[in-house]
Amino acid sequence: MKVTSQIGRLLNDNSSFDHLLRWFLLMALIALGAVIMWDFGFLNYLIESDVSRVSSLIIALFVVSSLYCLWHLFGLSRELSTITEFIRDAERDGLPDSTNSPTEDWPRLARLLDDIVQLRRISPEAQTDILLQSFASDVRAPVRLGVFVSDALYKLGLLGTVVGFILMLVSMRDLGEFDVETMREALQKMTAGMAVALLTTITGLSCGLLLRVQFNVMNSLVLAMQRELVRLSNVVLPVAAQRKQSDV
């Protein structure tokens, strides 16, 4: 019965999951690009040519961070759906009873809404800015972590660039004789070093940029939650409290 009610909530409030849908569309494009690069052999060349394995590390961090983003996007979307339902109930039934909050699955959100309702019961003019700012800081924690990881991917790309240039310099240091075979081996090592430098730079920049886009989607979802909570706190509940007082 509980699962059925949650599914019904999802179907009745699809707009709360728009950001999750955007993430899936973005990842579909990324997956399509990855398949095309694999088909043309670029990914194979990337993995085989990068002897430093920095590119493989960047790709692994990108995949793990993308799954982390998906997990929190789904949770935040469900919280936004709960907030929307709470607002709908408050507009229809008036100031709700804090003990009958429909947010038992989300202790963080339930605590915030109960605090706001209690303040509105005491005074419709009570300030709730500190409560909203504290909640916003809490839900923004995954976004801040995502921004940090995307910056770390940029830095790993630059680290791979440095490693590639070091490999080039090592190949030049090993030059002892200027015969054809020695020059051929030196040029091959220099080419391998340049490949490491360029491939890790491209991988770090691409994965960092794509990961930043994903967490920008999450950030826009957090902003949508903030807007709904501000509307609930400053418009819906004060009006409901005044309507209840006039009825009495």
Mean pLDDT along residues 122-128: 67
Mean pLDDT along residues 22-28: 93
Length of the chain as a residue count? 248
- Residue predicted with more confidence, 174 or 82: 82
Does the pLDDT at position 5 exceed 70?
A: no
Choice among 20-34, 110-124, 139-153 with the minimum mean pLDDT: 110-124
- The pLDDT value recorded for residue 7 is 46
Q: What is the pLDDT of residues 133-183, one digit of tens each?
A: 888 888 888 999 999 999 999 999 888 888 888 877 776 665 656 666 666
243 vs 241: CA distance, rounded Å: 5
- The pLDDT value recorded for residue 73 is 93
- Residue predicted with more confidence, 79 or 32: 32
State the virtual CA torsion across 33, 35, 37, 41 in degrees, nearest 10.
180
The crossing angle, in degrees rounded to 10, of helices 129-139 and 141-173 is: 30
Average pLDDT score over the chain: 79
Which pLDDT band holds residue 86 (cuts at 50, 70, 90)? confident
